[in-house]
Amino acid sequence: LFSKGREFFADRITIPIRDAMGGVIGFSARKYKEETFGGKYINTAETLLFKKSKVLFGLFFSRNQIAKERKVLIVEGQIDALRLIYSGFAWTVAGQGTAFGEEMAKELIQLGVKEVFLALDGDDAGREASCKIGNLFQKEGIEVFVVPLPEKWDPDLFLQEKGAEKFKELIDQKVDYLTFLVEHRAKHLNLQSPAGKSELIQLIAKQIREWDQPVMVHESLKKLAKLTHTPEGVIGTEEGSLPQIHIKRSSNITFSKMNLDQILEADLLRWLILMGQEEPKLFSLVEKNLTPDHFFTSAGKGLYEKILRETKEGKGMDLLSLMIDLESSEWQHFLAEILQKKINRDKAIPCLTETIQKMLERQWMRKREEIKMQIYSGASSEEEVLTLARRFDQLKKEKK
């Protein structure tokens, strides 16, 4: 009941929401009278089992066919999904309204989906939702198509009025995601104006460059150039549009101004300097996993190489001598900052292991971004792009 005493699902069709195994975890209700209070759909309150952003309606009924055909039809409402499943489209799911999130996308991707068809309502809200949902899959390298429902129509109404065969024909008229995105965004801009066209291209190119699959990015930028009648070189090398690879470094080394690279490397060196002599296995752990190339700052790399060299020569760790021997004032300041922070000696191994892992992750991310930068630059041939893409895939496998 509402606080005013009105029944929560009054004048609505109530539908059970099931999890992927068929268990009822909540209820949704669709109004069938325009004058009914509230939105088109309302749901029971979220619980530990029912999270609106995570539960795909209809997955229990469509799971097998989705996995078999490796494609999925996504609609907006539960009634739409039920009507489609009943009409033979048993590869359909729905988000809870337009709230389709990353968790839902991941669940479908784990089923092996390679093609996504979006049949959301033919209004502005539905088209905007198609842009957002499609982006979740495109960024993972999965092809997305938009089913062109007429203005103010939804799948349920279309099936009632025109039948399943006509809906199949509508699916055959699908529009690829990028074409749909360009057409939708262009409606709100003046493409006859150079500024309007530039804004459209920058907006969509920025979105594409945030996708994770380099070949998808490369090919989509080429297609964007074709759709907007723009030279590929302009889109591929547009100033200011490329992702930034390196973290900007500060010349004044204090903890208030140290960048993330320096802080991370200082954390690792602190363990070696303060505990390396009494725990030689700390050096072994670092040497086994890291090389000087894993240090991105000159101070961090130089200090690591000096400590390592003197340890191997059996000179020990004389902090005063170490400070005096450092020729660069930058290195001396860096060492001074390292020594200011205390350590928990009982947690040396787990803390050092965690720091090593972070440095390995940082190195992996840098290599990945360097490859993506080369692909996005537009300066590589098709053969070079494919070679870079294979290197990118190999990096992903190494990370796993």
pLDDT, position 31: 80
- Averaging pLDDT over each range in 169-178, 185-194, 258-267, 310-319, which range is the top one? 169-178
Query: How crowded is residue 269: how many other Cβ atoms within 10 Å of its Cβ?
Result: 23
Find out whether 83 and 159 touch, Cβ atoms under 8 Å.
Answer: yes
Helical (H) or strand (E) element with 26: strand 24-31
SS3 of residue 175 by DSSP? strand
Q: For the chain, what is the mean pLDDT?
A: 81
Alpha-carbon distance 385 to 388, whole Å?
5
374-383 long-range CB contacts below 8 Å, 24 or more apart?
375/214, 375/215, 375/217, 375/218, 376/209, 376/214, 376/217, 376/218, 376/221, 376/236, 376/242, 376/243, 377/236, 377/237, 377/242, 378/221, 378/232, 378/233, 378/235, 378/236, 378/237, 379/236, 379/237
3-state percent breakdown (helix, strand, coil) of the chain, nearest 5: 55, 10, 35
Q: What is the pLDDT of residues 191-212, one digit of tens each?
A: 788 888 889 999 999 999 889 8
Q: Got the DSSP string for 243-309?
A: PP-SPPPPSS--TTT--HHHHHHHHHHHHHHHHTTT-THHHHHHHHH--GGG--SHHHHHHHHHHHH
Q: Which residue has the tokens 């959301």?
A: 120
Q: Are 395 and 367 in contact, with CB atoms under 8 Å apart?
A: yes
Report the C-alpha gap between 73 and 118 in whole angstroms. 6
**Coil, helix or strand for 75?**
strand
Share of the chain above pLDDT 70, in %: 83
Give me Rg for the CA atoms of the chain.
28
| DSSP of 41-73 | EEEPPP-SS--TTTPPBTHHHHHHHHHHHTEEE
Residue 140: closest CA among 165, 177, 172, 168: 177
Give strand pairing partners of 75.
94
Non-local CB neighbours of 262 within 8 Å, separated by 6+ positions? 249, 250, 253, 297, 299, 300, 334
For residue 242, what are the CA distances in angstroms to 73, 166, 210? 34, 44, 10
Residues 93-122: b if buried by 16+ CB within 10 A, e if exposed? bbbbbbebbeebbebbbebebebbbbbbbb
The confidence score (pLDDT) of residue 47 equals 75
pLDDT at 90: 95
Residue 364's pLDDT is what?
85
| Number of residues in the chain | 400
End-to-end CA distance of the chain: 49
Side-chain-side CA neighbours of 184 within 13 Å: the count stands at 23
By CB atoms closer than 10 A (0-12, 13-18, 19+), residue 199 is middle
Q: Can you list the positions of beta strands (E) in 112-218?
A: 115-118, 143-146, 175-176
Judge whether residue 240 has pLDDT over 60. no
- What CATH number should be reported for the domain whose range is 246-400? 1.10.860.10
pLDDT of residue 161: 94
pLDDT, residue 366, reads: 86
CB contact at 8 A, 117 and 74: yes
Residue 91 has pLDDT above 60, yes or no: yes
Beta bridge partners of 168: none
Is this model's pTM higher than 0.75 or not?
no
Whether 299 has a pLDDT exceeding 70, the answer reads yes
| pLDDT the model gives residue 325 | 64
Residue 11 pLDDT more than 80? no
pLDDT value of residue 137: 96
User: What does the pLDDT look like over 332-349, one tens digit per residue?
Assistant: 778 878 887 778 888 888
Burial 208-241 (b: 16+ CB within 10 A, else e): beebebbbbbbebbebbbebbebeeeebbebeee
Rounded to 5 degrees, φ, ψ at 235 are: -75, -40
